[in-house]
Amino acid sequence: MRMRKKPWADKEFEINTHLVTSPEENKGKWNEFFGNDNPVHIEIGCGKGRFLSTLAAQNPNINYIGIERQTQIIVLAMRKAREHDLKNLCFVNVDVKDLENYFAPSEISRIYINFCDPWPNKKKWAKKRLTHRNFLSIYERLFAESGDIHFKTDNKELFEFSLNEFSALADNGWRMSNISLDLHNSSFEGNIMTEYEEKFFNIGMPIYRLEAKYK
């Protein structure tokens, strides 16, 4: 569903310094951008920004970058970061398929993928899933030596698909852990809910989660 333009959005884009308008210029130099050598973690499809804003506030020694292609959504995330004065958080308004234009190998050490579009279970659509092996190969090149993915979804079919994709690439160096079929009724600690997750948690839907380590 297309979101209506917020009446304050244009002003937010003018004053907010958390949006990186030319991310390609920072490829290989994100630590210079943040002014430190802290690890860089990204969230693909950061939505309204609650998840990353919470992480950034809790972990000042980690740099976070939110990836979101929808302008009317990313502006909400930008405002949260500005209001909480989070120096270790920024956003880029780009498409995930172009990540290699903005990040150099080994520059990212963790990727969060939360509640991405599940897409229909048809061959032509499956390739659009962010855990499809085509995307996993992009993440491999970005990690280069090592990295991990934290993945959450409310869609059972997508979760099963993702388990199969990671398993199929075990020879490439992928290993899964902390697999949960009902996150909120598990022993996992430290979960941060997205806005979307809270909505489905409140109506009793199970949340699926896994971690996948590369090499």
| 117 belongs to the catalytic site | yes
The sign of the dihedral angle between the CA atoms of 78, 67, 154, 193 is: negative
pTM listed for this prediction = 0.95
Task: Provide the CATH number for the domain around residue 13.
Answer: 3.40.50.150
Residue 3 lies in a domain: no
Judge whether 39 and 16 are in contact, CB under 8 Å.
no
Q: Are strands 63-67 and 40-44 parallel, antiparallel or unpaired?
A: parallel
Residue 210 lies in a domain: yes
Residue 84 burial by Cβ neighbours in a 10 Å radius (0-12, 13-18, 19+)? middle
Number of domains comprising the chain: 1
Cα–Cα distance between 113 and 194 in angstroms, integer?
11
Judge whether 162 and 181 are in contact, CB under 8 Å.
no
Q: What range defines the domain where residue 130 resides? A: 9-214
Pick the catalytic residue: 10, 117, 171, 182? 117
DSSP assignment letter at 19: B
Residue by residue, pLDDT tens for the chain (215 residues) are: 445 667 888 888 899 999 999 999 999 999 999 999 999 999 999 999 999 999 999 999 999 999 999 999 999 999 999 999 999 999 999 999 999 999 999 999 999 999 999 998 777 889 999 999 999 999 999 999 999 999 999 999 999 999 999 999 999 999 999 999 999 999 999 999 999 999 989 999 999 999 999 99
Residue-wise burial string across 87-99, b where 16 or more C-beta atoms lie within 10 A, e elsewhere: ebbbbbbbebeeb
Residue 4 lies in a domain: no
Residue 1 lies in a domain: no
